Amino acid sequence: MYGKAGIALAMAAWLAGAGHAVAQADSAQVAAEAQAQLNAQAQADLARPRTSSVDRIVAVVGKQALMRSQLDEQYYQLLATMPPAAAPKTAADSARIRKQVLSDLVDDELLVQEAARDTSIKVTDKEVMDAVAGAVKNIRARYTTEPEFMSELHKAGFASLDEYRRFLAEQSRRDMQKDRLKQLLKEKGKLKPVAPSEQEMKAFYEEQQGQFGSRPATVSFRQVVVAPHPTEAAKARALALADSILIELRKGADFAVAAKRFSADPGSRERGGELGWARRGLFVPEFDRVAFSLKIGVISEPVETAFGYHLIQVMRTQPGEIQVRHILIAAEVTPADVDSAAARAQQVYNAALAGESFDSLQRRYHDGTEEREASAVPLDKLPEVYKRGILTTDSTVTIIAPFALESPGGGRKYAIVMVTERRGEGEVTYQDVRDRVRQILADDLAMQKYLAQLRRATYVEVRES
C-alpha cells in the first residue's frame, strides 16, 4: 500500500517518465521497474544513518515482531528519497511520518505473511540473486574506487559487502512476494479498484502540489506506420522453413541452438529465443493466445503474426505468468517491397492533407505492431527519428510528411504523423495528473480495503504510537 509520501513519490516518478508511449513494451519492462526500485532502495540504504541504541519491539504482526531498528531504517530511507518540500520540519512532522512508516511496515508484513501462505506464489533464489547483483552493480558504479564504496558501506553500518547483499536479498525477496500476491489478487478479482471521489482527488492534488514540479514541453500525436509487405511466395518459403525446423525440434534438436541460427528476432535470438516471464496481453494477440494455451515443453505449430511465423515453447509457469521462448521466421522483404511501402506512405500523406479521415487511414494502412498514438510525450523523451520528423517542422504544421523508421533487424517502415497538441513547459495542473491520481488512489483504496481484512484476521499489536 502507498503511504501519502509513497503516493507522491509514485506520482513524481510517473511525471518524470511520462510519455514513453512511442517505445514498444517488452517482457523486461516489469522486471526493469522492480530492479530500478531495488536500486533506489539500495542507494537510500547507504545514505541512512544507523542507530546504535538498544533495539526494542515496536509492533507485532501474527508471530512476527517488528523492531525499532527496522522502523528507523525505513524512516531514514524514506527521508533520503523525499523532495525537500515534503521533508519534516518539526518534531510533529517527524512523528507523523514515523507513524505512517510503521503502519506501512505492518501492512508489508501482513502481505508477506499472506504470500507465504499461498503455495502458488514462488520466488526463486536465482531471481533474488540476479536482482541483488544488479543493485550492487548499479551502486558500485557511483563510486570511483572500491575503498570509497566500502567506506560508504561501513558508514551505513554494514560490516561487509556480504552483509549488505544479505540485507538487499531480504528486501528483494519480500518485494517480489508482495508484488506477486497483488498480481494474483487482481487476476482473481479480489483486488478491484475503488473509485475515489473528485473531492478526494482534488484534496490529494492540493496537498501534494508542491512536489509535482514543472511540466516539461510535450507533444501529442497520432500516426500511420506503413510497413513493407512480403510477397505470397516469400511467405510460403518462410512457412516451409518454420515447418522444417519444427520437425527437427520434435526429433530432439536443441531449441536454443536453432533460435540462434534461424530466428529473426534480434531481441531474443542470442538468448536462445528466451523472452523471459510474461503476463497475458504483453504479446500480440495471435502469439498471446497460443502461448498461454501451451503445456510446458510442447512446441507450437507455426503461429503467424505481423512479424512472421513463430515456433513457441513454454518453459515454466506460475500464477498468471509463463516463461516462454520462440523462434521467429520472417518472410524476406525485398528492396522492391520497401519501395512499394514508401509509395503507399506518400499516398497516405497526400490523402491526409486532402482531408481524408485519419481514423480511416489508420484502419486501412497502419501496421498493427506499432502504436497508433502517443499522448503528452516530453520532447526530450522522443526517439531521435521522431524529433527529426516532428521538431524540425514548422509548429503550425499538423500533418508531417513520411519519414523512415529503421528497425533493429534492418527493416524499414514509414511514419505519417498528425500532431494533435504541442504544449510548452509550465506548472503541473490538476488536469495534467487527474487520470493518474485517480488510478493511484483507486489502487490504494482497494489495497486499504484488503489490508483491513487481513488486520481483522491477524493479531496486530502496535506498541509505538
User: Which is higher by pLDDT, 30 or 384?
Assistant: 384
Model confidence at 31: pLDDT above 90: no
Percent of the chain with pLDDT over 90: 62
- List of residues 6+ apart from 8 with CB closer than 8 A: 83, 86, 208, 211
Number of H helices, E strands in the chain: 15, 13
Assign 235 a pLDDT band (cuts: 50, 70, 90).
very high
Residue with cell 528483494: 172
- Can you tell me the mean pLDDT for 343-365? 96
Domain covering 218-229+334-424 in this structure, CATH number: 3.10.50.40
- pLDDT for 29: 47
Assign 26 a pLDDT band (cuts: 50, 70, 90).
very low
Assign 36 a pLDDT band (cuts: 50, 70, 90).
low
Alpha-carbon separation of residue 117 from 73, 104, 107, 181, 458 (angstroms): 26, 20, 16, 10, 13
Q: Give the integer Cα–Cα distance in Å for 358 and 377.
A: 20
Model confidence at 8: pLDDT above 50: no
Model confidence at 66: pLDDT above 70: yes
- Can you tell me the mean pLDDT for 333-355? 95
Domain boundaries along the sequence of the chain: 4-214+429-462, 218-229+334-424, 232-329
- pLDDT for 377: 93
Model confidence at 63: pLDDT above 60: yes
- Can you tell me the mean pLDDT for 131-146? 90
Model confidence at 28: pLDDT above 60: no
CB 361 within 8 A of CB 351: yes
Is 4-214+429-462's fold the same as 218-229+334-424's? no
- pLDDT for 21: 37
- pLDDT for 256: 96
List for the chain the helix, strand, coil content (%; round to 5): 55, 15, 30
Which H or E element spans position 279? strand 274-279
User: Mind listing the pLDDT tens digit for each residue in 280-309?
Assistant: 989 999 999 999 999 999 999 999 998 999
Q: Give the integer Cα–Cα distance in Å for 366 and 372.
A: 8
Q: Which CATH architecture has domain 232-329?
A: Roll (3.10)
- pLDDT for 433: 87
- Whether pTM > 0.85 for this model: the answer is no
- Can you tell me the mean pLDDT for 31-40? 54
Percent of the chain with pLDDT over 70: 88
- List of residues 6+ apart from 11 with CB closer than 8 A: 208, 211, 212, 433, 436, 437, 440
CB 344 within 8 A of CB 227: no
Model confidence at 437: pLDDT above 50: yes
Q: Name the CATH superfamily housing domain 4-214+429-462.
A: Porin chaperone SurA, peptide-binding domain (1.10.4030.10)
CA triplet 142, 147, 152: central angle to 5 degrees? 60
Model confidence at 380: pLDDT above 60: yes
User: Mind listing the pLDDT tens digit for each residue in 97-134?
Assistant: 999 999 999 999 999 999 999 989 999 999 999 999 99
User: Which is higher by pLDDT, 6 or 311?
Assistant: 311
